[in-house]
A and B are shown apart, each in its own frame.
Chain A
């Protein structure tokens, strides 16, 4: 690393070195039988240069040849990619809980014990295909730049999921995460077995406008479109419907939507983004009012605003942080909780659809806020209770219209889905 820093410094450019190592272990049980146990270990370094208003980039998996890595980045400087920003000098940042010492010692055997425990609890209660999965992730990341920033952080998480797959392929699933290995609560597993009872009755709701409850697992349908609309890059490209709407009411006043990387109650909290800019609790929509766009260094400079600490080396599609350059991204986006339990929400709904899983949430006219999803799992509600599974039905709409028709927010947030609660909307188009 010392050689790389010296070599990058000799270019006369501003530089940023991002390095990350990752170790993973995972076990998966399919149809009640152990199917896989795998471990991976990877590392890498990527380098960004800024010189004379131009940007250069390179990466490697093995720092065998620091000069070669720097030469690659210098060569890409010549291609003419404009960069109007400087790397930040960040010396202090809040201490967040991102790692548990206990995670280091977790073996594949221990993951398997938890996988089998979840399986046994589900198999005891349902006669159907049961799958479980437990995965451990431990990473160490570091950002060094020519402005004097040198920040290292470790992260750990254990992710657990259990699912019941019906004969028709509908998946009733539950997920949980923590900094180290804790058992999935029995109540969570019991909950999906109760929902599974609805699988035996197939319903086809009448086409038209319905009340629809989006559960946290399906929330990406709505949040991907918000990510696009509030992105400083979309504003720069003039493709966002939110242009000129800062401080205007765009959602129902019962909705507050925030990106809060400082929330270290769940794994993945971040004190700085992947460019070393301090993160902050960032309310995107406060009681229905749009508060403003989010930026990385690059698009903040292009727009002439202050970066908001949202430059991350990933996108809504995921991505390998070594191979990617930072771009504006909301990785900790969730609605503030409301006051209604799940049963309260069903009662409020009276009649409608609960969306547990969306098919095609990643397609359609995302920039415009449009969505049109199939239901990988949708349950039909009548008289305030779930009475069956929705079959061959699509739910469509535009988020900037339906968010105005939010009628209630749940009080139970889901840590496996960025702490999102369920949200109930009125007047959503349903077709079949």
Chain B
């Protein structure tokens, strides 16, 4: 296949070109309540061609090999259009020429397990939810995505890498009278189906939280000091800070770029943050990004000081930095963009959860996530559930919790960081494309002065 895609590169007369061909194999078995609602196993494929011509850099995605010449002409024409009309010509940061094939360590590859067994596994966990009489329905699916990627560039790089991602994930919904509550159930990983085995305790525990929410009190809107659990701390790190560490998001925003200068004290001294796609056997693991650059660990923040950011080859050149191997595409339909790999706040070994509770004294303990969003400096995300904390003791359960804030203010309001980091098992960052391997995590963290939405 590498030789075939190199032939397409020969259709382009440009300063640089690369092409990625991908076969994406997907298996899905989805339950809607007790009913098996969808099952399919399919594969689809396509190409993404990128062309750099005299400072103009363009891409074309196409799905038919017979469209290769048309796609090459379109990409080149667009690159020339850009070249004629841009003030700052694009260049690409250097990267070593690599010729390799990489297959990550997998325990129990999904390809070795029958479809029936996969369906049974999802059915078992689905039944745990539905056996609780308060759970009225579920939407729970087994999913596997195998990306078989071939990359070649005119610089001579030739990489074949396979990535397999599995999950059993979805939503449980419980009802009592007129009140409906739902919670996400997220299990999975990128190192094989073993991640999905023996997870009964997780589904049982979270089913109890889901049904307990039916008798929980809606949170009262206001400003609180809060402890976030590891999942929510990870979402916070990803949403509030992480996106601003993606160089493409700040590149053309002068005000933001100024605030995000390396060396700026953006967080409190207890906060250090890394992004590291090289952590083996974690959801966010990969060896090479989708422009053939080896993935690197990046120290984004050290003791509150901004120390690094995530780059593609293009943004690295624009910022005078090194490419970090963080330019990733969802699949064959998309050109790669700068993405987080595995982002987390580093733990403080001296602070356990009990110490955090004592330090909080009065406030909220917020757990789990129902997603989040950023716009400019502002972020918002939902906690799955929470608890009142009074005099350092966890009290009544709370529901319908949404928190928002300004990234720069909130990062400085992080008062303490725990010693108990966990990484997420399921990703879904939607920055234009869905990144199923976007991994986040961290320890429990304490933040002062957070705006919580709710009924007043």
Contacts and interface: CB of A to CB of B under 8 A. Distances in A.
Real binding pair: yes
B402 A396 contact: yes
A429 B455 CA distance: 6
Nearest to A39: B74
Contact of A363 (B78, B136, B335, B372): B372
Interface stretch (B2-10, B12-20, B251-259, B291-299): B251-259
Contact of A237 (B32, B370, B381): B32
Interface string B70-92: 11001101110110011110000
A39 to B, nearest CB: 4
B376 A38 contact: no
Nearest to A432: B451
Interface stretch (A87-95, A140-148, A283-291, A370-378): A370-378
A62 interface: yes
A43 B70 CA distance: 14
Contacts of B64: 41, 43, 61-62
A238 B452 CA distance: 30
Contacts of A362: 371, 373
Task: Choose among B70, B178, B180 the residue with the greatest number of A CB atoms under 10 Å from its CB.
Answer: B180
Contacts of A368: 179-181
B174 to A, nearest CB: 9
A61 B399 CA distance: 44
A214 to B, nearest CB: 16
A359 B87 contact: no
B362 interface: no
Given A38-B58, A38-B59, A396-B402, A165 B33 contact: no
Contacts of A374: 373, 375, 378-380, 402, 404, 453
Contact of A170 (B373, B376, B381, B453): B376
B324 interface: no
B389 interface: no
Given A39-B78, A76-B41, A431-B222, A81 B374 contact: no
B63 A42 contact: yes
Nearest to B67: A41
A165 B454 contact: no
A367 B39 contact: no
Contacts, number: 248
A339 B33 CA distance: 44
Interface stretch (A29-37, A96-104, A249-257, A411-419): A29-37
Contacts of B178: 241
B380 to A, nearest CB: 4
A59 B378 contact: no
A181 to B, nearest CB: 16
B41 A372 contact: no
A108 interface: yes
A81 B82 CA distance: 50
Contacts of B137: 237-239
A185 B145 CA distance: 45
B36 interface: yes
Given A207-B456, A238-B137, A431-B453, A359 B373 contact: yes
B280 interface: no
A183 interface: no
A53 interface: no
Interface stretch (B42-50, B160-168, B264-272, B281-289): B42-50
Interface residues of B, number: 85
Contacts of B56: 37
Contact of B173 (A36, A41, A237): A237
Contacts of A357: 375
B247 interface: no
A367 to B, nearest CB: 5
Nearest to B77: A108
Contacts of B82: 34, 36-37
A337 interface: no
A383 interface: no
Contact of A42 (B62, B87, B404): B62
Interface in A320-335: 320, 322-323, 325
A37 B51 CA distance: 11
Interface residues of A, number: 77
Most buried by A among B32, B33, B62, B380: B380
Contacts of B74: 39, 41
Interface in B340-392: 370-382
A360 B451 CA distance: 14
Contacts of B175: 238-239
Contacts of B26: 323
B371 A363 contact: yes
Given A57-B38, A129-B253, A431-B221, A169 B378 contact: yes
A191 interface: no
Which among A76, A320, A372 has the greatest number of chain B C-beta atoms within 10 A? Answer: A372
Nearest to A239: B173
Contacts of B75: 39
A139 interface: no
Contacts of B377: 168-169
B419 interface: no
A108 B73 CA distance: 13
A362 B180 CA distance: 17
A40 B62 contact: yes
A370 B402 CA distance: 11
B97 interface: no
A401 B223 CA distance: 25
B422 interface: no
Given A33-B87, A239-B180, A61 B453 contact: no
Given A368-B181, A370-B400, A207 B222 contact: yes
B119 interface: yes
B373 A360 contact: yes
Contacts of B371: 360, 362-363
A365 B182 contact: yes
Contact of A37 (B41, B58, B62, B71): B58
A25 to B, nearest CB: 8
A45 to B, nearest CB: 10
B182 A367 contact: yes
List 8 tightest A-B contacts by C-beta distance, closest first.
A169-B376, A431-B221, A394-B453, A376-B375, A374-B380, A372-B402, A79-B39, A374-B404
9 contacts: A36-B58, A37-B82, A38-B60, A61-B45, A62-B63, A166-B376, A171-B375, A365-B399, A429-B456
Interface of A: 30-31, 33-44, 57-62, 72, 75-76, 79-82, 108-109, 112, 129, 131, 165-171, 207-209, 233, 237-239, 241, 320, 322-323, 325, 357, 359-360, 362-368, 370, 372-377, 392-396, 429-432
Given A31-B252, A59-B42, 18 more contacts: A34-B86, A36-B58, A59-B40, A60-B42, A129-B255, A207-B222, A207-B456, A237-B173, A238-B175, A239-B173, A239-B175, A357-B375, A359-B374, A360-B402, A365-B180, A372-B382, A395-B453, A431-B454
